Structure 1
C-alpha cells in the first residue's frame, strides 16, 4: 500500500520566511569571512547600515530601525566600518525592560556579535559585573569592556583600540555606548573624530551638542573634556584613510 502524506497548500508561505532568514544569516557569515581589507569592511558596513553622516541614526531612541541591531539605542557611525556609538536599549526594550542605568541587554550583545563586531565598550561602570564579558556567535567573538575614557590613560586606550581596527590588528568594528547614546558616548566619539578626522575644538563641541537630541543643559565637565582632548601624536592615519572612514560632518 502506497504511503500518502498530507502537505499543506500554504507550506511555501510557512517555509519561505524561515528560508530567507537562514539564507540571510549564511550570507552575512560568508561576507564577513571574506573581508580582509579595511576597504572591504568599510564598504560592507556602509552598505548594510545605509548611513553617510555623523548625525544619522541606525537605530532610534526606542531601539528600532535595524532588527539585527536590537538592544542598541540611538546608534550612529563614528568611523565607517570601524567604530559606532549609541546607548543600551533597556528602558524601552520590548521583552526585557529594566532600569535605564544598565549595560547592554543580552540580546544587544548577541546581535552585535552576530553582526561581526569585535568589541563593545560600556562607558559607565554601573552593573557591568552582571554582564557577560565575551560571547561567540556566527563564527565571531565579541569582547565586552568597561572603560569610561575619563582619564588620559583610558581615552588613550580607546584611541588605541580604534587605531588597531583601522590597521587591521583587530577585525570587526567597535560599539562604544553609554545609557542613552548622548553624553559619554558623545565625548568619546568627539575625541575619536578629533584624533582621526581633524575636528577642531569648536567642531567637536558642536558635534557633541547636536547629537544629544536636545538633552544638553548642564554637563559642563563633559563639555570641557570634549574641548580639552588633544590627539595623540603616535596614532596618525593617511589622508586616504580619512576619506575612506570619516563620515560627512552633518546632514
Structure 2
C-alpha cells in the first residue's frame, strides 16, 4: 500500500513537470511581453550586477522577500539565486539545513515568482510544494533538483529557457541553504549557458559570491570548470543583452 501511494505521488509530480515544459499557462499573467517583465524586475530590485545582494545574510534588506537569504540576480527578470532564511529567521528559527520557510514561499509568490527550486533534498518532502496566492490566484511551484547529473542540469536549463520565452511565467528562485555554494553552482552554469561566459569566468564568479567561504569545495569547482553548454538551448543576442548582468 505504501509503495503504491509513493508511486502515485511520483506520477503526479511528473505530470506537473510535464505541464510546465509544454508551456501550459498558469500563474503569473501580469506582463504583456518579456521586455516588460525584465524591465519591471530590474526597476523593482535595483541591482546593477551579479554580485549585489537583494537580501543580506540575515535575510534583511528587502522586506517583501523575507524568507530568502543572500539573494542575487542571475538573469534579470528570469532567474535569481540565494538561500533559505531558517537559522536567522526572526519568528520561525530552525536548523539551517532546511527548505524555504513558509513565508519565503508566500513572499516569492507575492513578488510574482512562478517557481522556486530547492537544490538539496533534505526535508523537501515535508515542505509546501504548491502555493496559491489567495488574492491573485497566482501559483508558485516548489521543485527539487540537486543537479547531480547532466540530465538534471538540462532540466534546469529548459526551465530557465521557458521563463525567458514566456512573459506569463514569473522568475525562478534557485536556492540552497546559505545562498553560496550550490545556488552559486546553478548560477554559474546558467551564466555559461545563456550569457556565454567562459568556464574560468564562471569559476571566478562562483568564488566571489561565496562571501569568502570557497575553500573545501573543489568538487563544485571541478564541475564548473568541466561544464559544456547544451548546443540546442539558445537565446538571441538581443535577449542576452537584456537579461545578462554585469560580471565586472
> What TM-score comes out, normalization by structure 1 length?
0.85
Highest relative contact order (Cα 8 Å, sep 6+), 1 or 2? Answer: 2
Q: Which residue of 188, 191, 199 maps to 1:190?
A: 188
Residue of structure 2 in register with 1:222 after alignment: 220
Q: 1:34 deviation in Å?
A: 4.0
Q: Deviations over 1:113-156 (max 9, x none)?
A: 11110100000000001101100113310000010112101100
The answer to whether 1:150 aligns with 2:148 is: yes
Residue of structure 2 in register with 1:131 after alignment: 127
Tell me the distance in 2 between the aligned counterparts of 1:196 and 1:33: 24
Is this contact kept in 1: 2:57–2:69, CA < 8 A? yes
Is this contact kept in 1: 2:57–2:70, CA < 8 A? yes
Residue of structure 2 in register with 1:160 after alignment: 158
SS at match of 1:90: coil
Residue of structure 1 in register with 2:91 after alignment: 95
Q: Deviations over 1:146-195 (max 9, x none)?
A: 10112101100000000001111861000000000000001110000000
SS at match of 2:80: strand
Is this contact kept in 1: 2:31–2:167, CA < 8 A? no
Structure 1, unpaired ranges of 5+: 1-31
Residue of structure 1 in register with 2:22 after alignment: none
Residue of structure 1 in register with 2:74 after alignment: 78
RMSD: 1.1
Which portions of structure 1, spanning 4 or more consecutive aligned residues, are displaced by more than 4 angstroms? none
Tell me the distance in 1 between the aligned counterparts of 2:30 and 2:129: 26
1:14-163 pair list within 5 angstroms: 33-137=29-133, 138-163=136-161
Tell me the distance in 2 between the aligned counterparts of 1:33 and 1:221: 40
Tell me the distance in 2 between the aligned counterparts of 1:140 and 1:219: 38
Is this contact kept in 1: 2:30–2:168, CA < 8 A? no
Is this contact kept in 1: 2:33–2:167, CA < 8 A? no
> What TM-score comes out, normalization by structure 2 length?
0.86
Structure 1, 227-236 or 95-104: larger mean CA deviation: 227-236
Tell me the distance in 2 between the aligned counterparts of 1:176 and 1:136: 19
